[in-house]
Amino acid sequence: MKKLVNIDKIEELVKDGDRILVGGFGATGSPLTILDKIARTNVKDLEIVSNNLGENGQGLHKVFVAGQIKKAVGSFFTINREAVMAWSRGELEIELLPQGTLAEAIRAGGAGIGGFYTKTAVGTELSKGKEIREIDGERYVFEKAIRGNVAVIKAAKADKLGNLTYYATARNFNPMMATAADIVIAEVDEIVDELDPEIIVTPHLYVDYIVQTGYKKERGAYVESR
């Protein structure tokens, strides 16, 4: 299986200044093993696109604590207290988008759409400086699509070609992110011989590399299995 790589491969794939799309909603559906690896490299000045910056000290939180993030684009950073403090000290740039706008911008980025008009956030601080257009009597704000140099995502199962399935609400941003970056790396719980074509969510053409997760679920939390 050509796409299956050792976690050390991450060192070659992620570079200084990269814009990285990171799947997950908090720790749920977040590629924790890949993020742990990134946090152990010397890569810096990353621009992270993710709903928030990790949770309970896991995932992106470790990358943030390692001082590798220059800018974060997402919808909810209030729960990341250290990030809020770094922002107020001017050490972290933050771009806030409504959650639905974030999801749609990534979807558009992967689908060859340059941008879109949404009614969300019209008349608020988050549409300031952006183009407003009236369509059929309703006001919409223009939002640009989002793409990354790299996407790191989490899936439940991969087959030998790299087709992916997801589990429960761990799906969240992962399927869109799989479509919207030059290099897509999927962390998976299980690698199987074959998947039922009816249940595949991310077809293999989107996926460049697969790594086996180093986490398991135990007593309602994600814990390292090694």
137's tokens: 């009597």
d(CA 22, CA 60): 8
According to the binding rule CB under 8 A, does residue 144 interact with other proteins? Answer: no
Rounded to 5 degrees, φ, ψ at 73 are -115, 120
Site track for other proteins across 17-56, x = CB under 8 A? --------xxxxx---------------------xx--x-
Nearest distance from C-beta of residue 85 to other proteins, angstroms:
9
| Burial class for 151, CB neighbours closer than 10 Å (0-12, 13-18, 19+) | buried
186's tokens: 């999927």
2, 130, 133, 139: which one binds other proteins (CB under 8 A): 139
According to the binding rule CB under 8 A, does residue 117 interact with other proteins? Answer: no
Relative to beta strand 148-158, strand 138-144 is: unpaired
Rounded to 5 degrees, φ, ψ at 8 are -65, -20
The one segment of 41-49, 97-105, 143-151, 204-212 that binds other proteins by CB under 8 A: 97-105
Instruction: Indicate the SS3 state at residue 168.
Output: helix
d(CA 161, CA 82): 40
172, 188, 207, 213: which one binds other proteins (CB under 8 A): 172
d(CA 202, CA 112): 17
167, 182, 199, 205: which one binds other proteins (CB under 8 A): 167
The one segment of 12-20, 36-44, 63-71, 87-95 that binds other proteins by CB under 8 A: 87-95
Enter the DSSP assignment of 222.
E
According to the binding rule CB under 8 A, does residue 135 interact with other proteins? Answer: no
Nearest distance from C-beta of residue 53 to other proteins, angstroms:
10
Nearest distance from C-beta of residue 42 to other proteins, angstroms:
27
User: Where does this chain bind other proteins (CB under 8 A)?
Assistant: 25-29, 51-52, 55, 75-79, 83-84, 87-88, 94, 96-104, 106-107, 118-126, 139, 166-176, 201, 217, 219-222
